[in-house]
Homo-oligomer: A and B are copies of this chain.
Amino acid sequence: MTKAGRHFLQIPGPSPVPEPVLAATAQQVIDHRSPEFGELGAKVLSKVKQIFKTRYDVIIYPSSGTGAWEAALCNALSPGDKIMTYETGHFASLWSKLATRIGLVPITVGENWRGGVDPNVIEAELRKDTGHEIKAVCVVHNETSTGSTTRIKEVRDAIDAAGHPALLMVDTISGLGSADLRMDEWGIDVVVAGSQKGLMLPPGLSFNAVGPKALAASKTSSIRRSYWDWAEMIAINKTGYFPYTPATNLLFGLDKAIDMLLTEGLDNVFARHERLAEATRRAVQSWGMENLCQSPRHFSPVLTTVVMPEGHSADAYRRKVLKNFNMSLGSGLSKVADKVFRIGHLGDINELTLMGTLAGCEMGFELAGVPHQKGGVDTAMRYLAETSAA
């Protein structure tokens, strides 16, 4: 009815940018070849490693996450290389399509839009590849289209169990900074990430964290590349500078956002996400609605995808919520278009914003005539109160 008051941006990214981060991005641009920039670059490139839990190089691109997908593949692989993919949802599927477009041969070994990657499938399929034709296993950590989070360590273990040399490439575009990811401990070779989710920045930056095995592979890989090339980036980044003009103002913001995450403490950040996600799931259950993700082991701390009752349009519902309650919810994508909606609960979010969000959902059901049981908001609130610090 009205557009007064704060918009509730409850899509699974971009997530609302905290005021201090917005303010940081609004500082006057500086000379990207100045000593001042060199200090900024060195500082940010170093600090960001803590977020990836890696001691290796993290490359920052001025691009969306889609660019970082391409970067990961085109640096480490050669035309015609086979890669193993697992369709956990729309974004896993898009990454696979992108691979095809740049000349790779993705082999999709599993499909599950209602849960995470099954590591047994990975292991079994890798064992079959006795010739080691598969050069990389590409999985999505947090699948933004469905709300499942794959246990990456299990995938690592599966590859190791199979004794297969494939690289492990992980897309955590919507996971980083919200769901724990331990690049080095978990043996990930390339991590792909973006700025506008758990990092709480506006969109426009993407990341490749590159382990030594991937870096070695990039020396001999033969996909043609320039903008995405790791070698030049890594070489010049050592000085705190970039081979081409960086998105300076987003780097100002990144500097601030990392500080905020580290000040809160990554473990606290992850626990906060888990708790809000659990509250959301309890609300969904109370409403008598179905979580698209059916595997509790893979519930996402980032978003929850709700299946609409048969015969009800998720998009009509979302439009109603937007119009009446000034809240954006995520749409269903591709094969679940109009059948589900997604509640983002990531980034700079707290209990009361979540409560407003869930209230908007529940009131929206009422207004859109979506059959549901009342009480979801109440259930979430009880859970949050019970789990609040004494």
A226 and B328 in contact, given A246-B203, A356-B356, A378-B377 (Cβ under 8 angstroms): no
A11 to B30, CA, bound (A): 10
Residues of B near A249 (CB, < 8 A) are 25, 202-204
Q: Is the beta-carbon distance between A247 and B70 smaller than 8 angstroms? A: no
Q: How far is the CA of A246 from the CA of B194 in the complex (A)?
A: 12
Q: Give chain B nearest CB distance to A169 CB in angstroms.
A: 16
A112 within 8 Å of B by Cβ? Answer: no
B351 touches A325 (CB 8 A): yes
Q: Does A29 contact B (CB under 8 A)?
A: yes
Instruction: Tell which of B16, B324, B367, B378 touches A378, judged by Cβ atoms closer than 8 Å.
Output: B378
Bound CA–CA A9/B13 (angstroms): 25
B interface footprint on A243-257 (CB within 8 Å = 1, 0 otherwise)? 111111110000000
Which of A264-272, A290-298, A300-308 is the contact stretch? A264-272
User: CA–CA, A354 to B264, complex, Å?
Assistant: 26
Q: Which of A40-48, A60-68, A128-136, A146-154 contacts B (4 or more CB under 8 A)?
A: A60-68
Is A311's CB within 8 Å of the partner chain B? no
A360 CB-CB contact with B under 8 Å: yes
CB-CB under 8 A from A238, the residues of chain B are none
Of the candidates B14, B246, B269, B359, which one forms a contact with A381 in the assembled complex, judged by CB atoms under 8 Å apart?
B359
Interface size for chain A: under 10, 10 to 19, 20 to 34, or 35 or more residues? 35 or more
- Complex CA–CA separation, A250 to B229 (angstroms): 24
Q: Which residues from B are CB-within-8-Å of A35?
A: 322
**Smallest Cβ distance from A328 to chain B, in angstroms?**
4
Check: A103 CB closer than 8 A to any chain B CB.
yes
Number of copies of this protein chain within its complex: 4
Q: Which of B22, B29, B272 contacts A2 (CB 8 A)?
A: B272
A385 interfacial contact with B, CB 8 Å: yes
Asked if B4 and A63 make an inter-chain contact with CB atoms under 8 angstroms apart, the answer reads no
Distance of A217 from chain B, by nearest CB (Å) = 18
- Let me know if A185 is at the binding interface, CB within 8 A: no
Contacts A64-B245, A249-B25 given; does A355 touch B353 at CB 8 Å:
no
Q: Which residue of B lies closest to A275 (CB)?
A: B1
Find out whether the CB atom of A363 lies under 8 angstroms from the CB atom of B350. no
Once the chains bind, are B203 and A32 in contact (CB under 8 Å)?
Answer: yes
CB distance from A97 to the nearest CB of B (A): 8
Residue of B nearest to A67 (CB): B227
Residue from B29, B103, B268, B385 within 8 A of A202 (CB atoms): B29
A residues touching B (Cβ–Cβ < 8 Å)?
A: 1-9, 11, 13-14, 16-17, 19, 22-23, 25-35, 61-67, 70, 79, 98, 101-103, 194, 196, 202-204, 223-227, 229, 243-250, 264, 268-269, 272, 322, 324-328, 331, 348-357, 359-360, 362-363, 366-367, 374-375, 377-378, 381, 384-385, 388-390
